[in-house]
Amino acid sequence: MKCGVIRLRRAVLAAVAFVVVAALVLALRLTGAYAVYTGGTVRELPIYSVERSDNKIAISFDCAWGTDYTDKLLEVLARENVHATFFMVQFWAEKYPEYVKKIAEAGHEIGTHSATHSYMSKLSEEKIRQELSTSSAVIEAASGVRPDLFRAPFGDYNDRLIRTARDAGYYTIQWDVDSLDWKDLSANDIAMRVISRVRSGSIILCHNNGKHTAEALPVILDTLKNKGFTFVPIGELIYRENFTIDPNGRQHAAG
């Protein structure tokens, strides 16, 4: 009798454990593909990179200050037949609408980089929605295309920001390769940093007004192409549905 009770108890515990695991999996799915279960909590993450085996990568440029080197960047990208992703702050797009249009007409992808370039993890949900909405409206007015990609200023985020952006229809994009071009590194140092860190599915962070970015760009593009990498806009690199994100922020196709 006692053995039968023990077996029954074990069976019940196993069934309960199965239900708990199933509920957790369902909860993770319902919280969105950005949700990562770690240490007993569900944490929201942006997309840092993408798990791919085809050597596709993306290069991106954040636009917040000036246009001194933007024409040169566009010349290099056109010559190399590379389409990039430009994340634009609203006040930059308002000041330089001709560049928003020029970038879009060159076939590049445009995302929003917020309205005011603030630390958005400190903002309320209402304010976050406003930053996304007004910045996207300005970009759309100049380019004819409404963005669905968002990069948080300073790479600063929290659960509220990621969830709010997702609910508003945006994919939040981070990076796994930082050129550090904003530190005014030499062109060679920028190029070597990028080239040595890229892998299939990488997202490269640069800035449109980096002092030596345009100078480094030909070396970056040529070298990575010769290594077998293919550049695509971030919108073509990421999975737009049926995906998960691991604790390192790397996006994977589901199942």
Fold of 49-253: TIM Barrel (3.20.20)
Q: Residue 38 forms beta bridges with which residues?
A: 41
Q: What is the pTM of this model?
A: 0.85
pLDDT tens digit at each of 255 positions of the chain: 444 444 545 544 444 444 333 443 433 443 344 454 444 447 899 999 999 999 999 999 999 999 999 999 999 999 999 999 999 999 999 999 999 999 999 999 999 999 999 999 999 999 999 999 999 999 999 999 999 999 999 999 999 999 999 999 999 999 999 999 999 899 999 999 999 999 999 999 999 999 999 999 999 999 999 999 999 999 999 999 999 999 999 999 987
Domain ranges of the chain: 2-44, 49-253
pLDDT at 43: 86
As annotated, the active-site residues are 62, 207
DSSP letter string, 193-224: HHHHH--TT-EEEEETT-TTHHHHHHHHHHHH
Report the distance separating Cα 46 and Cα 123, nearest Å.
17
Pairing relation of β-strands 177-178 and 203-207? parallel
